[in-house]
Amino acid sequence: MLTQIMTEMFKFKRSKVLWIIVLLIVLDCFSSYLQSQVKDLSWEEFLRASYMNLWIRPVFFCFLSGYLFTRDEEQRTLSALFTYPYRRSQWYFAKLTAAAVVIAFLLLVSFAFELIIGLLLLSEPLTFANLGYQLAFLVQTWLLYIALTPLAAFIAILVKKSILCAIASAGGGIMSMPLGVVSSKYITLSPWLIPYLFSYYPLNIPDYPVWEPGLLVSGILLVLSMGLGLYIYTKKDLIYE
């Protein structure tokens, strides 16, 4: 599967999405700079990246995962892809893996820039213990984000267009906001909000049982979207052609 993963990664080389990735890194640096202006800000609060985890990252990571599927439709390379001597299921999981790799890369680059900005502007010294804790937190956040990729892939397989995939990704985040307004009991029901909530846990939601329904819903969506997405993708000629 390594060949398929590398193939998917190289397709970003001449893609406009590459410029969006650069823009995302710039926005992340700007967000970190704004956060660093808060007086007496600790490293733990600074590295939470609350603005990005709430507004930018969930939407873009969903779009990025879906784009790996819609791109083949729009560039009319899907038939050639399916005639290549690899199973369709391998291409499906290769695309999800490529999305996970890109997400990990973006999080690591953003984390590195945040460290540089923090070392320059924060008054609190950075300890190895705090750095190790934040790296572990970063890995956990990454796992929450890649849990969104099967859902994004399923949506992309259905809509087939990158613009529609972008609208759906943004719409999922926007429609999640009323859940927090209605009641904190329902705020974890949206998989788009869980990375942001996790970045503040337990400061904003100290009651752990609140997480149980949200994690259950996200787990069900993960399994269903992966199963349905894999089925539709591998049977695509029977359904669409």
How much is the pLDDT for 49? 62
Q: Are 89 and 177 in contact (CB under 8 A)?
A: no
**Token pair listed for 167:** 């609208």
Please spell the DSSP secondary structure of 1-48, one letter per residue: -HHHHHHHHHTTTT-THHHHHHHHHHHHHHHHHHHHTSTT--HHHHTT
How much is the pLDDT for 210? 58
Q: 50: pLDDT confidence band, cut at 50, 70 and 90?
A: low
Output 177 or 208, whichever has higher pLDDT: 177
Respond yes or no on whether the N-terminal peptide bond of residue 202 is cis (omega within 30° of 0): yes
- Amino acid sitting at position 157: I
Output 220 or 186, whichever has higher pLDDT: 220
Report for 67-76, 78-87, 203-212, 232-241: range of highest mean pLDDT = 67-76
The answer on pLDDT for 241 being more than 50 is no
The answer on pLDDT for 212 being more than 80 is no
Domain boundaries defined on the chain: 2-240
Q: Are 60 and 102 in contact (CB under 8 A)?
A: no
How much is the pLDDT for 167? 92
Q: Are 95 and 81 in contact (CB under 8 A)?
A: no
Q: Three-state SS for 160?
A: coil
The answer on pLDDT for 215 being more than 80 is no
How much is the pLDDT for 239? 43
Choose the weakest-confidence range: 22-31, 68-77, 136-145, 209-218: 209-218
What sign has the CA pseudo-torsion 142, 57, 47, 220? Answer: negative
Q: Are 34 and 51 in contact (CB under 8 A)?
A: yes
**Token pair listed for 98:** 């490529």
CA distance 153 to 99: 10
Of 131, 132, 134, 177, give the one whose Cα is nearest residue 48: 134
Of 199, 186, 151, give the one whose Cα is nearest residue 50: 199
The answer on pLDDT for 165 being more than 60 is yes
How much is the pLDDT for 211? 66
> Looking at residues 193-204, what average pLDDT do you find?
68
Output 142 or 203, whichever has higher pLDDT: 142
The answer on pLDDT for 207 being more than 70 is no
How much is the pLDDT for 149? 94
pTM: 0.86
CA distance 127 to 133: 10
Output 21 or 193, whichever has higher pLDDT: 21
Tell me the per-residue pLDDT of 82-131, one tens digit each, with 9 for 90 and over.
Answer: 776 788 889 999 999 999 999 999 999 988 988 898 888 888 888 888 88
Chain CA centroid to CA 211, Å: 19
